[in-house]
């Protein structure tokens, strides 16, 4: 009866029929893994998990309890996994935000550095412009001094020539007055005496006048020749200045402005007097000086010397070459920094 009842109970729904058992190797593997899993479950506060390979269930309730326990463990693990995933996402988001903020500040620092470099470049450009203006001002001052010196030389030369002409004129007038006085002193009428004495006196005076007249004429020609030479000397100087002005200083200068006494040039007017000649020369030189004065100092379109400040021009060209080299190096450095910042971004 007992065996039949046990057999009937075994055949009922509350019991599980197991036809065969697993091998020893499989049981040993499951046993080792179960120890590890149960140790971790206990550390987490979960109950010990049964494995049917090691302890086969006798009732279906044990299978139900086992499945329930597995479901709870898996649910808790999934919950923790989801929470850890959310935590990881939040941490990743926070790290991304921090990385973006870091990149933003790096970018701002790079832009500030670029602005600083641009400001330094602007300051250097202004310093170079100031240096150029300084050299230009110095060059213009040197040219102005050269022009003023040239004007002073022309004025002094003109005054010298003018004094020489006046001196020659006074000398000629004095010679004429002395000749006239000599003639007057030699020709005096005799109030008392015989007709013979008067005739002898007249003959002697006439012979003297015949001798003095050629001398006076020769002296007059010599004075006219000297005056002509002085006038032609000043006229040649005026023509040279006029040619220099018309050719921007490129016209060659004659070795001398003197005129040969054997080949004098006529005044162009037979009755030209010394005041007329002086007035004519004065008008011409005033025109030339007014042209020089009306032109701005520092221009290159006058007859003034263009060789003033050659060394300063060379210094300016050297400084320009150095400036262009520094500019290229600075541009290359800025481009390299921008490329590196783009690579970092």
Which tens digit of pLDDT belongs to each residue from 277-296?
A: 666 666 776 676 666 556 54
313: how many CB neighbours lie within 10 A of its CB? 13
Sequence-distant contacts of 253-261: CB under 8 A, at least 24 apart: 257/233, 258/229, 258/233, 259/228, 259/229, 259/232, 259/233, 261/225, 261/229
205 or 95, higher pLDDT: 95
Q: Which two tokens stand for residue 282?
A: 């004065």
Tens of pLDDT, residue by residue over 237-268, are 777 777 766 665 556 666 565 555 555 555 55
Predicted pLDDT at 247 = 62
Asked if 182 and 336 touch (Cβ cutoff 8 Å), the reply is: no
Q: What is the mean pLDDT of residues 81-88?
A: 85
325 or 302, higher pLDDT: 325
18 or 50, higher pLDDT: 50
199 or 156, higher pLDDT: 156
- Percent of the chain beyond pLDDT 70? 50
Predicted pLDDT at 112 = 85
Question: Which of 122, 114, 18 has its CA nearest to residue 63?
Answer: 18
Question: Which of 286, 278, 279 has its CA nearest to residue 154?
Answer: 286
Predicted pLDDT at 319 = 67
Confidence of residue 197 (pLDDT cuts 50, 70, 90): low
- For 80, phi and psi rounded to 5 degrees? -65, -40
Report the alpha-carbon distance of residue 20 to residue 17 in Å, rounded.
Answer: 9
Asked if 49 and 34 touch (Cβ cutoff 8 Å), the reply is: yes
Q: What is the mean pLDDT of residues 315-332?
A: 69
- Is residue 95's pLDDT more than 80? yes
- Is residue 307's pLDDT more than 50? no
Confidence of residue 306 (pLDDT cuts 50, 70, 90): very low
Q: Tokens 């004094």 — which residue?
A: 163
Q: What is the mean pLDDT of residues 110-133?
A: 89
- Is residue 171's pLDDT more than 80? yes
Predicted pLDDT at 316 = 65
Predicted pLDDT at 108 = 85
Alpha helical stretches, state H, 23-59: 24-43
- Percent of the chain beyond pLDDT 90? 1
Q: What is the mean pLDDT of residues 228-235?
A: 72
Q: What 3-state DSSP class applies to 51?
A: coil
- Is residue 124's pLDDT more than 70? yes
Report the alpha-carbon distance of residue 142 to residue 24 in Å, rounded.
Answer: 116
Give CA separation, 191 vs 141, 187, 207, in Å.
Answer: 79, 13, 21
- For 20, phi and psi rounded to 5 degrees? -145, 160
Q: What is the mean pLDDT of residues 8-21?
A: 50
How far apart, in Å, do the first and last CA atoms of the chain sit? 88
Give the E-state strand segments of the chain in sequence order: none
Q: Tokens 């550390």 — which residue?
A: 43
Report the alpha-carbon distance of residue 227 to residue 238 in Å, rounded.
Answer: 17
Q: Full-prediction pTM beyond 0.75? A: no
Predicted pLDDT at 147 = 87
Question: Which of 241, 237, 270 has its CA nearest to residue 256?
Answer: 237
Confidence of residue 298 (pLDDT cuts 50, 70, 90): very low
Residues contacting 54, CB < 8 A, separation 6+: 27, 30, 31, 34
35: how many CB neighbours lie within 10 A of its CB? 10
Mean pLDDT comparison of 23-37, 146-160, 173-187, 311-325, highest-scoring range: 146-160
Tens of pLDDT, residue by residue over 24-76, are 776 777 777 777 877 877 777 776 767 766 677 677 777 777 777 777 777 77
- Is residue 299's pLDDT more than 50? no
- Is residue 15's pLDDT more than 50? no
Q: What is the mean pLDDT of residues 170-175?
A: 84
């Amino acid at each position: 009866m007992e065996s039949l009842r046990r057999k009937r109970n075994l055949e009922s729904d509350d019991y599980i029929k197991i036809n065969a058992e697993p091998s020893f190797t499989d049981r040993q593997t499951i046993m080792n893994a179960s120890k590890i899993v149960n140790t971790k479950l206990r550390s987490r506060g979960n109950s010990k998990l049964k494995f049917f390979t090691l302890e086969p269930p006798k009732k279906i309730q044990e299978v139900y309890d086992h499945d329930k326990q597995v479901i709870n463990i898996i649910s808790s693990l999934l919950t923790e996994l989801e929470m850890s995933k959310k935590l990881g996402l939040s941490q990743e988001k926070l790290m991304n935000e921090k990385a973006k903020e870091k990149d933003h500040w790096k970018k701002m620092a790079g832009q500030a550095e670029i602005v600083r470099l641009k400001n330094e470049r602007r300051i250097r450009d202004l310093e170079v412009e100031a240096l150029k203006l300084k050299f230009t001002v110095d060059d213009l001052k040197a040219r102005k001094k050269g022009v003023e010196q040239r004007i002073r030389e022309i004025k002094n030369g003109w005054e010298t020539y003018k004094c020489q002409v006046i001196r020659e004129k006074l000398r000629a007038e004095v010679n004429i007055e002395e000749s006239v006085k000599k003639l007057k002193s030699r020709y005096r009428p005799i109030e008392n005496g015989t007709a013979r004495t008067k005739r002898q006196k007249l003959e002697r005076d006439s012979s003297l006048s015949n001798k003095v007249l050629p001398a006076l004429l020769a002296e007059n020609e010599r004075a006219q020749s000297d005056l002509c030479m002085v006038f032609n000397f000043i006229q040649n100087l005026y023509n040279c200045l006029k040619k220099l002005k018309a050719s921007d200083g490129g016209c060659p200068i004659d070795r001398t402005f003197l005129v040969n006494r054997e080949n004098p040039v006529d005044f162009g007017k037979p009755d030209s007097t010394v005041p007329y000649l002086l007035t004519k020369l004065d008008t011409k030189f005033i025109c030339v000086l007014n042209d020089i004065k009306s032109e701005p100092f520092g221009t290159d379109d006058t007859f003034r010397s263009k060789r003033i400040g050659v060394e300063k021009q060379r210094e300016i060209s050297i400084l320009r070459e150095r400036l262009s080299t520094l500019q290229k190096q600075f541009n290359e450095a800025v481009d390299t920094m921008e490329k590196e910042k783009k690579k970092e971004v």
